[in-house]
Amino acid sequence: EAGVAQSPRYKIIEKRQSVAFWCNPISGHATLYWYQQILGQGPKLLIQFQNNGVVDDSQLPKDRFSAERLKGVDSTLKIQPAKLEDSAVYLCASIQGVNNEQFFGPGTRLTVL
């Protein structure tokens, strides 16, 4: 089965610019997660979708971050405007059932200059 796809793999922008990341989860996986992983730390949940509805976005900086999952499949995460501290790897993951394996994409490494 195909894995979780993410693009782009790398992105370099200047502060105050905007950026968008794309994720295509494994087919049939209703639950999709976006995580932010800063170097040396574990992933931090930004937002969790169940189909096209938001389950948890309590740690999403809503003044600058937004995410959507139209039609309950692909998802996009946007940052506008970016800050230096947004430099991190953004991981997308999906899962089929609560005790099933969670599959991660390769991540997008964002550098904000």
Partner 1 sequence: KNQVEQSPQSLIILEGKNCTLQCNYTVSPFSNLRWYKQDTGRGPVSLTIMTFSENTKSNGRYTATLDADTKQSSLHITASQLSDSASYICVVSAGYKLSFGAGTTVTVRA
Interface residue with partner 1, options 14, 56, 68, 85 (CB under 8 A): 56
Name every residue whose Cβ is closer than 8 Å to that of residue 36 and which is 6 or more positions away in sequence. Answer: 43, 44, 46, 88, 89, 90, 91
Interface residue with partner 1, options 67, 95, 110, 112 (CB under 8 A): 95
Q: Are strands 31-37 and 102-104 parallel, antiparallel or unpaired?
A: unpaired
The torsion angles phi and psi of 23, rounded to 5 degrees, stand at: -140, 135
Asked whether position 40 contacts partner 1 by CB under 8 A, the answer is yes
Asked whether position 28 contacts partner 1 by CB under 8 A, the answer is no
Binding residues for partner 1, rule: CB under 8 A, are 4, 31, 33, 35, 40-45, 48, 50, 55-56, 91, 93, 95, 98-107, 109
